[in-house]
Structure 1
Amino acid sequence: MQLVRLPLAAANPHGNRTIPNRLAIERVAAAANVLFLLIDPLLPCLRRHPTDPTHLRGVKACAERLQHLAAEAGGSFKTSCSQFAQRIILYVTQAHAHPMFSPYAPLRSSIDDIIRRATVLLDLTVTVKHPEPGELAAAAVEVAAYAAQYGGAVAGLGAEAEADPEEAEGN
């Protein structure tokens, strides 16, 4: 999954930049973890038992969590994840209409489609919401705090290296 158009805040004394909408990026990372949970253990188990109530509850909980995280991240990521989660919830609704442990073939093909959509979702290039002014200010404060905490120590190290170049060459 790739993110595009990530605005960077001012650099700290070391030239490192911070991402002002870091919370949105963290939501994308958490959503990716939910997708991996769906792709690997949950959906394959559901494919073997397409109407098992325990698996259906787990998959539905993941879909709801994915919707929540995507709503917080915003951008095109929200749209893509919301459509995917709605597809899962539709499947759960359809599966409840069949008897427990039904071998109904269309349900299994629906799961295959959901797994395919999950892998496609992981391969997308998405955007997240633009940072709010408060987030930009928080990032600037974070950079200033970092500079205040570590700026003097780093500047001191640089001065020591310049003061004794022969000792630096001997090491």
Structure 2
Amino acid sequence: MNEPIDLITSQENPRIKAARKLHTRKGRIAAGALLVEGVRLLGDAWRSGIRPEIVFYAPEMLGSDEGNALLASLQEAGCACFGCAPAVFAALAETVTPQGIAAVLPLPALPMPPQPTLILILDGIGDPGNAGTLIRSAEAAGADAVIVGPGTVDPFNDKVVRAGMGAHFRLPLRRCAG
């Protein structure tokens, strides 16, 4: 197990407070970052070449071999990794059953292809789960990009990113004004 040198034991820790602000669109835009949770989602981001700005983990909650291997890989790469008491991690997490690892990532800004042939346009999609599923489906269908129109939920909302299952890290996403 990856035992932390310093354990964050307070929800008032400045790093935890800053990461919690990323649960809001305003916080994500101000920081230019998002918070992702879970072994699979963080692993997808890492394999897509996105380096976490900071990683939080709860040693008692990070029980899988895959999770421990991911954490070891992040630590070996020199990522800033901080252990958290379970109660602190639970306060940081948005999921009902946290997997014990979360990270602050820069907002993905993948380049648009020069001549896209298939683009998904999301217009007026208010349900985060539906938006994430559509983004994931666009990637599976070979879309070159996703354009998010007005009235559509923030594409980097926690639930949208979870439902997108890593597509956000491989598919260019752009917002357009109304």
Which structure is larger by alpha-carbon Rg, 1 or 2? 1
* Larger fraction in helix: 1
How does the TM-score come out when normalised to structure 1? 0.27
Name which structure has the greater RCO, CA cutoff 8 Å, separation 6+: 1
